[in-house]
């Protein structure tokens, strides 16, 4: 299996064309690698930045206040100008082996490549309603906040009119403002902890600016609705997260957004035998971007969840440099 | 009178204490950088926000084109600016920074494309 004929060998393959993958590929190039393939499943580079249309990006890296697409644009322009970096869009990685054979599908074909070094920059996915154990029915109208962001900002759909948001993560806060500006009514943000999980600036500019109530030490205890969400039950919790039944109240709504955390996407490196911490779904590693398998690097939100893209760019550039040094060591 | 506000210029979120007398700022503490001083004074006298949204494209490579104001607009005009943005049907390709609505509602801010969009 591991010594296949007719498989093209590349110095470096980067999986993922978001901020992490682009920074890693550019840094590998700047550190001397001249044969780089970057694969991206979407039809555009930029990853999650394309749907993050709000400002607040690049304050550290560019010392400017950019929106997500503007931040992405700078790297897309830069990487597109480097002929040594081949970019393959609409390319979806499906298998990775310990010997660094990577299989991916493109429209109409299956490709396989052998990478001397590989950098996985596959990002993360959202935690769902099922993972936070909310009782009740299973009607339409319950969305992870980032999915709702994609619906509004990329597809132009408004997924609901009366919204309750579970969790005060940054994506949920940003979406509270976005729904409000688009004419929906955001009735409450419900946070089980005593403080916000998101940045304080987002509590101010996304909730307080619009008078959206934020309930700390509260949870949604039940979702009601037959075909569509009709209402939620909300209850205060004590320090041990036990419900205080006498505090229970209801909010009518047609939509529930979940903003309750992110899970790094590392299923491919797990196939390749990389040691994974099952609790965080991140590679077991003493050093940023490294894994238990030499030559397989992981960067960006697939290595750990970052608050800000600037940190992703800095650390992913290190991944590119590490891969370049690893390749030099092979020679 | 001391007004407590949170600076939103960067993720640090400095807690500002602004001393206001008869609508005028006579002192400001709590900021870790000069941006906080500017923000705090502005926020008391004329609060403004950078607004971002999307406009509907017709015949371009993507359906929704992200836009932003190139300067903060008065907080009280945010919904009115949203209405102006919703009227737009973009039919020409744009680069980042291309002005889509100039001087929107006389605010001195332009609504500009924040993503390059081809035909």
> Using the beta-carbon criterion (under 8 Å), do B10 and A50 form an inter-chain contact?
no
> Using the beta-carbon criterion (under 8 Å), do B13 and A205 form an inter-chain contact?
no
Instruction: Check which CATH number belongs to the domain holding A238 and give it.
Output: 3.50.50.60
Q: Where are the domains of chain B?
A: 2-45, 52-113
* CA–CA separation, A167 and A200 (whole Å): 14
Q: How far is B117 from chain A (nearest CA, A)?
A: 11
Q: How far is A159 from chain B (nearest CA, A)?
A: 15
- A3 within some domain: no
B55 at A interface, C-beta within 8 A: no
Kindly report the backbone phi and psi dihedral angles of residue A316, in degrees, each rounded to the nearest multiple of 5, phi listed first: -70, -30
Q: Residue A246's CB: how many other CB atoms inside 10 A?
A: 7
A17 plus A98 within the same structural domain = yes
Kindly report the backbone phi and psi dihedral angles of residue A247, in degrees, each rounded to the nearest multiple of 5, phi listed first: -95, 0
Q: How far is B55 from chain A (nearest CA, A)?
A: 9
At residue B50, does pLDDT exceed 60? yes
* CA–CA separation, A163 and B50 (whole Å): 24
A151 plus A121 within the same structural domain = no
Distance between the two ends of chain B, CA-based, in angstroms?
55
Number of domains in chain A: 2
Return the residue of B nearest to A59 by Cα: B10
A121 plus A270 within the same structural domain = yes
H or E, element range at A270:
helix A267-271
Which residues does residue A188 pair with via DSSP β-bridges, in sequence order? A164
- Chain B CB contacts of A50 under 8 Å are 115
Q: Which pLDDT value is given to residue A5?
A: 65
- A2 within some domain: no
A contact test, residue of B3, B5, B7, B8 with most A CBs within 10 A: B8
Contact B117, B60 (CB under 8 A): yes
Residues A187, A192, A194: CA angle, nearest 5 degrees: 105
A13 plus A98 within the same structural domain = yes
At residue B64, does pLDDT exceed 90? yes
> Using the beta-carbon criterion (under 8 Å), do A67 and B66 form an inter-chain contact?
yes
> Using the beta-carbon criterion (under 8 Å), do A205 and B8 form an inter-chain contact?
yes
- A180 within some domain: yes
- A308 within some domain: yes
Structural domain span for residue A249:
128-258
The count of CB pairs under 8 A between chains A and B is 77
A47 plus A107 within the same structural domain = yes
A72 plus A156 within the same structural domain = no
Q: Which pLDDT value is given to residue A252?
A: 98
Assign a CATH topology to domain B52-113.
CPE0013-like fold (3.10.530)
Give B1's Cβ-side CA count (13 Å radius).
8
- Chain B CB contacts of A207 under 8 Å are none
A199 at B interface, C-beta within 8 A: yes
Q: How far is residue A224 CA from its own chain's centroid?
A: 29
Average pLDDT, chain B: 96
Q: Measure CB to CB from residue A55 to each of B13, B68, B116 and give the nearest one.
A: B68
Return the residue of B nearest to A46 by Cα: B115
Q: Is the ipTM of this complex over 0.90?
A: yes
Q: For residue range B67-83, list pLDDT tens digits in order.
A: 999 999 999 999 999 99
Q: Which pLDDT value is given to residue A331?
A: 76
Per-residue pLDDT of chain A (331 residues; tens, 9 = 90+): 455 667 999 999 999 999 999 999 999 999 999 999 999 999 999 999 999 999 999 999 999 999 999 999 999 999 999 999 999 999 999 999 999 999 999 999 999 999 999 999 999 999 999 999 899 999 999 999 999 999 999 999 999 999 999 999 999 999 999 999 999 999 999 999 999 999 999 999 999 999 999 999 999 999 999 999 999 999 999 999 999 999 999 999 999 999 999 999 999 999 999 999 999 999 999 999 999 999 999 999 999 999 999 999 999 999 999 999 999 999 7
Q: How far is residue B41 CA from its own chain's centroid?
A: 16
Confidence bin at B34 (pLDDT 50/70/90): very high
A185 plus A110 within the same structural domain = no
Q: Which pLDDT value is given to residue A189?
A: 98
> Using the beta-carbon criterion (under 8 Å), do B68 and A181 form an inter-chain contact?
no
Q: Which pLDDT value is given to residue A179?
A: 98
- Chain A CB contacts of B82 under 8 Å are 181-182
- A86 within some domain: yes
Contact A28, A119 (CB under 8 A): yes
Q: Say which DSSP state A131 is in.
A: G
> Using the beta-carbon criterion (under 8 Å), do A200 and B6 form an inter-chain contact?
yes
- Chain B CB contacts of A73 under 8 Å are 96, 114-116
SS3 A32: coil
Which residues does residue B112 pair with via DSSP β-bridges, in sequence order? B68, B99
B114 at A interface, C-beta within 8 A: yes
Q: Which pLDDT value is given to residue A77?
A: 98
**Sheet (strand B24-29) strand order:** B2-6, B15-21, B24-29
């Amino acid at each position: 299996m591991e010594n296949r004929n007719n498989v093209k060998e590349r110095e470096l393959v980067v999986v993922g064309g978001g901020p992490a993958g682009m920074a890693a590929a550019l840094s590998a190039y700047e550190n001397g690698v001249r044969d780089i393939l970057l694969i991206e499943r979407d039809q555009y580079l930029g990853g999650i930045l394309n749907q993050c249309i709000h400002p607040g990006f690049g304050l550290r890296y560019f010392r400017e206040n950019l929106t997500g697409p503007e931040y992405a644009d700078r790297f897309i322009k830069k990487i597109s100008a480097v002929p040594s970096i081949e970019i393959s869009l609409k390319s979806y990685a499906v298998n990775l082996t310990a010997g660094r054979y990577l299989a991916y599908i493109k429209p109409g074909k299956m490709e396989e490549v052998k990478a001397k070094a590989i950098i996985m920059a596959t990002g993360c996915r959202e935690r769902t309603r099922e993972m936070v154990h909310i009782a009740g029915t299973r009607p339409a109208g319950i969305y992870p906040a980032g999915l709702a962001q994609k619906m509004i900002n990329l597809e132009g759909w408004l997924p609901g009119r009366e919204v309750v948001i579970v969790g005060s993560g940054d994506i949920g806060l940003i979406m509270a403002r976005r729904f409000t500006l688009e004419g929906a009514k955001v009735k409450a943000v419900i946070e089980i902890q005593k403080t916000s999980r998101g940045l304080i600036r987002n509590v101010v500019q996304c909730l307080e600016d619009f008078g959206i109530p934020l309930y700390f030490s509260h949870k949604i205890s039940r979702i009601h609705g037959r075909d569509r969400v009709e209402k939620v039950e909300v209850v205060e919790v004590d320090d041990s997260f036990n419900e205080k039944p006498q505090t229970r109240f209801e909010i009518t709504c047609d939509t529930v957004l979940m903003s309750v955390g992110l899970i790094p996407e590392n299923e491919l490196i797990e196939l390749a035998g990389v040691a994974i911490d099952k609790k965080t779904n991140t590679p077991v590693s003493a050093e940023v971007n490294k894994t238990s398998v030499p030559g397989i690097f992981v960067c960006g939100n697939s290595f750990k969840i970052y608050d800000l893209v600037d940190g992703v760019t800095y650390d992913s550039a290190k991944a590119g440099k590490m891969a370049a040094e690893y390749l030099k060591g092979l020679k | 009178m001391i007004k407590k506000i949170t600076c939103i210029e960067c993720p640090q979120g400095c807690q500002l204490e602004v001393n206001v007398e008869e609508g005028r700022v006579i002192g400001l503490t709590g900021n870790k950088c000069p941006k906080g001083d500017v923000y705090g004074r502005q926020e008391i006298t004329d609060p403004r926000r950078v607004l971002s949204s999307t406009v509907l494209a017709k015949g371009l490579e993507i359906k929704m084109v992200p836009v932003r104001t190139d300067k903060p607009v008065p907080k009280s005009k945010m919904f009115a600016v949203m209405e102006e943005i919703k009227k737009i049907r973009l039919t020409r390709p744009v680069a980042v920074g291309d002005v889509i609505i100039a001087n929107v509602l006389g605010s001195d801010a332009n609504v500009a494309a924040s993503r390059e969009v081809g035909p």
